[in-house]
Each structure stands twice: as C-alpha cells, then as structure tokens.
Amino acid sequence: MAKEEKENLEKVVDQEATNDQNTSQSETADAENEAVEDDTGAEEESTSELEAVKLTLTEKENQIARLSAEIQNMRRRHENERQDMAKYRSQSLAQEILPTIDNLERALAIEVEGEANQNFKKGVEMVHQSLLKALEAEGIEEINPLGEVFDPNFHQSVSSVPKTADQEDEEVVEVYQKGYLLKDRVLRPAMVIIAQ
C-alpha cells in the first residue's frame, strides 16, 4: 500500500508540476502577448509623437523662413531709404534757398544807371551765379520750359493766352517762375503761361 500511495503521491506531484508548468507557460504567453500589445501601442504612440514633432519642426522652419524674408526686406528697405536720404539730402535746404534766388533774379532784371549801381548789380549777379553753382554741385537743375509743350509733371499753369499760328497747343509761352529738379525729383514746378 505504501507503494501505491507513493505512486499516487508522485502522480499528484507530477500533475501539480504539469499544472504549474502550464500555468507558468500560460502566464509567460500572456506576458508576451501584453508585451507585444505594449510594443504595438508604444510604436503607435511613438509614431504619433514623431509625426507631431515633424509637424512642429515644419511649422518652425516655415516661421524661420518668413522671418528671414521679412528681415531681408527690412534691410533692403532701410538701404533704399538710406540711399534716398543721401541722394536728396539737400532738398530742404534748396527749397529754402529757391525764394532767395528768385529775389536775386528779380533784382537783376531791374535796369540801373550809374557806375555805382552797375557795380552793385554786378555783385548781386556774382552772388546769384555762386548760388546756382552750389545748387548745381548738389544735383539741382533749373526747369526753364519756354517753348516746350506743357507737362503737368514739371509745370504748373497759372494762366493761358490765345495761341498764335506759329505756336503749338499748350505750348509754354512765358515762364512766370522757374522750376527746379533735384536729381529726378521735382523740388518746385515751373509756373508758366501756356497758349491755348
């Protein structure tokens, strides 16, 4: 009997060992399945994080490109403004001096008699000429459109007279006040009388 009990006891131990092995294998399989599921979930999560990072990177690259272009435009605009300031630096001074030149030209148009008056007029003429040379050195030119066709970009019509046979329509017949150009910019349009 003892032998039978011993055999029964060995069978029970073997069954329990088999059950433990099956349970252990089942748990291992479950753990492996969970690990695979975790890996799949981790891969999906990792992929979505990667996509989010790529999207953010693309947005930042676009933002950098836009800001870089804006900086280049600002530099270009600043350079153009600086060049314009250098080109037209004498504009305000010239606009202040032009009425003085007009007054000198009116004084020179007066006929004088006597040697003292002639000498005085010659001195005024020298001042006038030196002012014109200084303006010319700064790129300022006269607009004297006598005989030209009226151009509203450079001329300002103050009056009109009937045209004669030898005149064109809207021809400038008299310059009331000279105009001036600074490089390509009109400082003051010429005030003219035109034929119509």
The per-residue pLDDT for range 76-90, each reduced to its tens digit, is 999 988 887 777 777
* Better-predicted residue by pLDDT, 176 or 4: 176
Q: Which domain holds residue 52?
A: 1-87
Secondary structure element (H or E) that encloses residue 12, with its range? helix 2-87
* Report field, pTM of the whole predicted structure over 0.75: no
Which two tokens mark 38? 């975790």
Domain boundary among 67, 87, 107: 87
* Closest residue by Cα to residue 174 from 146, 142, 143, 144: 146
Cα–Cα distance for residue pair 189/196, rounded to 1 Å: 20
13 plus 76 within the same structural domain: yes
Domain boundary among 87, 116, 147: 87
Residue 135 neighbours by CB under 8 Å, 6+ apart = 94, 97, 101, 180
Which pLDDT belongs to residue 128? 93
94 plus 169 within the same structural domain: yes
Report the 10 Å Cβ neighbour count for 142: 15
